[in-house]
Amino acid sequence: MHTNVRLISTGTVLPNVTDIDLSPTDRAILEMLREGRCTPAYIAEEHEYSRAHVRNRLQRLTEHGHISRLHKGLYELDSDPKDTA
């Protein structure tokens, strides 16, 4: 397997997200998670995003292995794409 892809539990291979692939919302989420664990509601409130939009972006970042869902509604940073770019 190439080092620039990641296998997720469904068996789907996804390319690693680089800084170029990150949306402004992704960057804002990652910046908050660099400071510590966050909930989607807190991220949405701090940046005036909808909760649904934040949840979608969190799911994408989780699928790419950059963050982990620790508990229902609580996320933390695992692998900062800023460090791997």
Stated as kind and residue range, the H or E segment containing 33 is helix 24-35
Print burial letters for 49-73: b (CB count within 10 Å at least 16), e (below 16).
beeeebbebbebbebbbbbeeeeee
Residues of the chain with pLDDT under 70: 1-20, 84-85
d(CA 83, CA 48): 27
Q: pLDDT for 51-71, tens place per residue?
A: 999 999 999 999 989 999 998
Classified by CATH at the fold level, domain 24-79 comes out as Arc Repressor Mutant, subunit A (1.10.10)
Q: What is the pTM of this model?
A: 0.74
Enter the tokens of residue 60.
């994408």
